[in-house]
Amino acid sequence: MRSSIILLAFLFSGVFSAISQENKELTVHYLKEYPYAFEESNKLKGIEIDILNHFQKWLKDQKNMDISFTYVEEKSFDEAYKATVSEKSSVTAASITITKDRKEEVDFSKPYLKNASVLITGMSVHSLRSYNELPEVFNGMVALVRKGTTHEEELKEIKAMYFPDMIVKYVETVDEMEEMLKSDSKYYAMIDLITFWRWKVRDEMPIKMHNVMTERNEKFGFAFSKGSGMAELFNEFFLSGFKFTSTEEYISILDAYLGPEIRESVRMK
């Protein structure tokens, strides 16, 4: 037993040494999207940015590690995710759903938000009572989705099982998706619950979600380059004490960007 403990300590110290000696800079690939990451008064902020800032401070205070973060804005979710898959020392902050398949390509942090996928349309569209109504209710309409997302996979399954004639159009950002939904009632979209809240409450869009299509039990995490050791450090930060999600700092971050209508539905505990 003693030898096993010594071996584990040696292996961890090796990882820690490699990080402290080689990775003085961490590239953060992000999407400009409220409330996760956005610019205000020429300053980058948002739920993901604020959490990473707390992590950076913890590295300095608890590990004596001066790691600088270089933020790189990506045009699409697919580009942001693939950058971290291919690089040695980076993290993707793009409201990424943690999945089994993605765990084969990246190291995930512990989840920082709960979420759900929702299907949304304009108010004039008949509310679905079952998946079987899709071909009739959405006949001639166009589904909007971002490439590489779990929403794309969900729509592929729905198309295969219930709606073979589904018409799909790819968009790069949720802002592009929002403008298209505003411009023409023929469009509908699979998005996350927080984005629906933003459009419905903050932007006052006349949209609704179809409850029968809601997919729950999703969790968002940060994706770190496989084998970089940064996910282990992040999780030590995140799980220490009563866990970061129990701290006043975490609650303050959510309060800064989310309204009471949505906050408790997505808060990790």
**Which residues have CB under 8 Å from 138's CB, separation 6+?**
125, 163, 166, 188
- Calculate the average pLDDT of the chain: 91
Q: What is the DSSP string of 79-118?
A: HHHHHHHH-SSEEEEEEEEP-HHHHTTEEEPPPSEEEEEE
Q: Which residue has the higher pLDDT, 238 or 269?
A: 238
Pairing status of strand 207-209 against strand 113-122: antiparallel
Count of CB atoms within 10 A of residue 233's CB? Answer: 24
Which domains does the chain show, CATH number per domain? 2-114+218-266 (3.40.190.10), 115-217 (3.40.190.10)
Look up residue 181 and give its two tokens.
């939904």
- Could you give the 3-state DSSP secondary structure of residue 254? helix
The predicted-structure confidence for 78-93, as pLDDT tens digits, reads as follows 999 999 999 988 999 9
pLDDT in tens, 100-151: 999 999 999 999 999 899 999 999 999 999 999 999 999 999 999 999 999 9
Instruction: State the amino acid at position 24 in one-letter form.
Output: K
166-207 pLDDT per residue, tens: 999 999 999 999 999 999 999 999 999 999 999 999 999 999
Closest by CA position to 113, among listed 261, 251, 256, 211: 251
pLDDT score, position 126: 95
Length of the chain: 269
Rounded CA-CA distance 73/94 in Å is 10
Task: Determine the Cα–Cα distance for residues 8 and 3; give it in Å rounded to an integer.
Answer: 9
Structure tokens at 120: 């949304």
CB proximity list for 209: less than 8 A, separation 6 or greater: 118, 119, 120, 196
